[in-house]
Amino acid sequence: MTGRHAWTRHAYSAALTLLSPLIWQRVWREQVPGRPRAERLGCLDLPEDNRPRLWLHCASVGEVLAARPLIRELRLKYSDHALVVSTMTATGAERVAALMDDVPEVEAAAPLSHVFLALDFPGAARRFIERLSPQMAIFFETELWPNLLHACARRRIPIAVVNGRLSPRAFQGYRRLNWLMQQSLSCVDWLAAKSEPDAARFRELGMSSAHTSVVGSMKFDISVDDGSRRMGRELHAAIGHRPVWVAGSTHAGEDQQVLQAHRRVRERFADALLVLVPRHPQRFDEVARLCQDSGLVTVRRSLGRTPSASAEVYLGDTIGELQMLYGAADVAFVGGSLVPIGGHNLLEPAVMGVPVVTGAALDNFLDVAEVLRDAGALVEVADGDELAERVTALLEDVEQRQRLSEAALAVIETHRGALAATLEGLQVLYPPHSDAARSSG
């Protein structure tokens, strides 16, 4: 490492230390009962297991869901290892726990466990990597933590960034830290980018072209378990013959627009039901109050109730059920797109056969939105007023809903394959049953 690069990372670490009160305030609430907050400083309490470890980091619940096929395949391909998945958030931790039985019982599979990612202070990062001691480190999408990457590189741990994406907005932010990003990306042994524009942005920040591949988006390898499909159908049947639309992964400033849109939808369909699913559990109570203040009769799913005929809003205030709730709908709006968040996974409702509506803020899903748009499988709206118009029009037109859902399913099937390419690259970087694995066992 050059002296200039080392200086840059030390300056970053010093700035992180100065900001530590704000950082701790942010992560303090992201905790699971019974789990020590010392994990955030790299003090891990790992299961007793002599098997070599693989480590996969996913930021939160969305990344865990997108990585689900990869997690499953890693457990099967590296069955003589243990797979540790880290997250930054409590909701991500809960989704990892839900995946622990996500392999057939008849097949041998690596055990799966979860840890919270250490904050990127130098000492915490060093302790985290020393305690975890993975044979390979895999970062999902855009999680580039300089001290963690440096700690892996010092121990000669192969590092991969998979499903790599870098939105134009994120790229501009990273460009301001150009020297730091160059040093961080120099630690990465292989980058599997979602698209050529993503790869180009990574290369401009300093990623080696020789170590970069464009494999497509793993999001197209999305799968749905039979339980979610079944529960979605059962909920749809329990709701009865009513028009149902879901607004999933909504954010502050967006719920009000969705509720107002629902009022307009009900002008045409008096019995229409909105299933409203906020993105963050911390906002469940807040959104429940918004629903009540709007005068709409609201039922909370967390209370175990099915919406009655008089219910106007069904609040999805549970974790891990969004895809199932999409499956109970006639139309789905994907949130984070009417406010400057960057959107969420447009394929979650699509794979359930539900037509997809989104706002214009799609920085995080430009590649997915482009192929859906080109296939005529995406409805885009500018604001809450247009949302009401398009949802109403779709609820009126069964044939259009069918066309949209079939087009989206065809897109998903056509663009599958990133998972296989990613696994192939990871197995080149660290072969299953390698000498390193055997010597660590």
Instruction: Report the amino acid identity of residue 306.
Output: T
Q: Using CB atoms within 10 A of its CB, is residue 101 exposed (0-12), middle (13-18) or buried (19+)? A: exposed
Which two tokens mark 370? 């482009």
Query: How is 81-139 classified by DSSP, letter by letter?
Result: SEEEEEESSHHHHHHHHHTTT-S-TTS----EEEEEPPPS-HHHHHHHHHHH-EEEEEE
What distance in Å separates the CA atoms of residue 334 and residue 387, rounded to the nearest whole number? 11
Asked if residue 258 lies in contact with residue 291, where contact means CB atoms within 8 angstroms, the answer is no
Place of tokens 């050529």: 196
Which is nearest to 93 in space by CA: 368, 225, 281, 274?
Answer: 281
DSSP-derived secondary structure letter, 312: S
With H, G, I as helix, E, B as strand and everything else as coil, classify residue 19: coil
Q: Using CB atoms within 10 A of its CB, is residue 18 exposed (0-12), middle (13-18) or buried (19+)? A: exposed
Instruction: Report the amino acid identity of residue 18.
Output: L
Place of tokens 């329990």: 238
Distance (Å) of CA 25 to CA 20, 38, 52: 8, 14, 34
Q: What are residue 139's DSSP bridge partners?
A: 57, 161
Instruction: Report the amino acid identity of residue 94.
Output: E
What distance in Å separates the CA atoms of residue 360 and residue 363, rounded to the nearest whole number? 9
Asked if residue 174 lies in contact with residue 166, where contact means CB atoms within 8 angstroms, the answer is yes
DSSP-derived secondary structure letter, 140: E
What distance in Å separates the CA atoms of residue 11 and residue 4, rounded to the nearest whole number? 11
Q: Which of 63, 141, 254, 348 is catalytic?
A: 63
Decide if 389 is catalytic: no
Task: List residues with catalytic annotation.
Answer: 63
